[in-house]
């Protein structure tokens, strides 16, 4: 087994207090980091050149779980929102749905929302749905959908309860998918030309005596996977073989999602969630809902853009 490195982050990069910070995304064209607060229905942005003082917030009509740039568009980007896939105008926050996923099931449409996702190398937008916050007794009613650039919709992974981090190996032959309640990350053989998945297997399983569940993830150019441990105050760096290479701890409890950013794509930005009133949290984890940065000694790949439509 490789020796496990440790790194401790002591202060946030952006001391906001999101209710549920998620979906960090680096805009290479503008050198801007954006992320969402799912509960408060907000999109946040900060210019990395200008620093935290440039932080801005746009309030939305519906919750948004994940965002992605659109090939050839600068005035808007695509998101996975409450009812499905929508475009979002940068200046106003106006949402325009382009594909609602439960149009013929109004009861399901109200029960569900979108959580996490990513765009693959062929410009297809993958995103997972789950029960909305008002639904009691979480059910495995969610699905990972794939929206192709021609606007066809495909159900790829069924019967999930909390779909989380997704990504692809550098050779584009493996897709990873995080199923939070199982505390595991699964690997699939991935056929890039068709987007087909096969041969599901366990890539990594959090040990029974370790706190938390696995949440969002990002992958570096060496094929290492960096995964958030929600209610675990840390990020784990995993090798392509699923071995733990590093622990990165930070002073927040509910770590939600990492993403590479910066001009050299060598900084990992990490979103976190807030805590409920009266909720007991570990000592020293007071920066709930803040955004952190990790100078990880690794580089991320450029984010894929959703194909023009």
Contacts of residue 103, defined as CB under 8 A and 6 or more positions apart, other chains included, come to 109
User: Which of 171, 215, 222, 276 is flagged as catalytic?
Assistant: 215
Record the tokens describing residue 40, joined without a space. 């408060």
Distances (CA, A) of 53 to 36, 48, 262, 264: 18, 10, 17, 22
To the query of whether residue 191 is one of the catalytic residues in this protein, the response is no
Q: Provide the 10 A C-beta neighbour count for residue 226.
A: 28
Residue 113 to residue 132: CA distance in whole angstroms: 5
Residue 29 to residue 214: CA distance in whole angstroms: 30
The answer to whether the beta carbons of residues 84 and 99 sit under 8 Å apart is: yes
Strand 244-249 versus strand 5-8 pairing type:
parallel
CA 60 to chain centroid:
19
Q: What are phi and psi of 110, to 5 degrees?
A: -80, -30
Contacts of residue 44, defined as CB under 8 A and 6 or more positions apart, other chains included, come to 16, 18, 21, 34, 35, 36, 37, 55, 56, 57, 58
Which of the residues are catalytic? 215
């Amino acid at each position: 087994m490789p020796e496990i490195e440790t790194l401790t982050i002591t202060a946030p990069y952006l001391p906001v207090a999101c209710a549920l910070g998620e979906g960090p995304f680096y805009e290479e064209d503008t050198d801007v980091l954006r992320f969402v607060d799912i509960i408060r229905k907000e999109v946040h942005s900060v210019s990395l050149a200008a620093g935290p003082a440039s932080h801005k917030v746009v309030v939305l009509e519906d919750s948004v779980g994940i965002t992605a740039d659109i090939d050839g568009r600068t005035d808007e980007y695509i998101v996975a929102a409450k009812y499905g896939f929508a475009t979002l105008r940068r200046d106003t926050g106006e949402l325009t749905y382009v594909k609602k996923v439960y149009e013929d099931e109004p009861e399901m449409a109200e029960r569900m929302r979108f959580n996490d996702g990513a765009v693959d190398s062929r410009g297809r937008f993958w995103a997972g749905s789950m029960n909305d916050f008002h639904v009691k007794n979480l059910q495995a009613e969610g699905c990972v959908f794939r929206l192709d650039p021609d606007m066809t919709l495909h159900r790829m992974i069924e019967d999930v309860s909390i779909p989380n981090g997704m990504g692809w190996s550098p050779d584009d032959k493996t897709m990873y998918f995080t199923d939070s309640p199982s505390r595991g990350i699964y690997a699939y053989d991935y056929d890039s030309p068709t987007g087909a998945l096969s041969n599901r297997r366990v890539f990594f399983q959090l040990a029974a005596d370790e706190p938390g569940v696995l949440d969002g993830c990002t992958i570096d150019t060496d094929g290492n996977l960096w995964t958030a441990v929600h209610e675990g105050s840390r990020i784990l760096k995993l090798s392509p073989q699923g071995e733990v290479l590093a622990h990165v701890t930070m002073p927040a409890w509910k770590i939600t999602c990492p993403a590479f950013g910066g001009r050299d794509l060598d900084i990992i930005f990490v979103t976190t969630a807030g805590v409920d009133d009266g909720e007991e949290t570990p000592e020293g984890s007071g920066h709930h809902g803040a955004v952190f940065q990790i100078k990880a000694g690794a580089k991320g790949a450029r984010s894929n853009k959703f194909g023009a439509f």
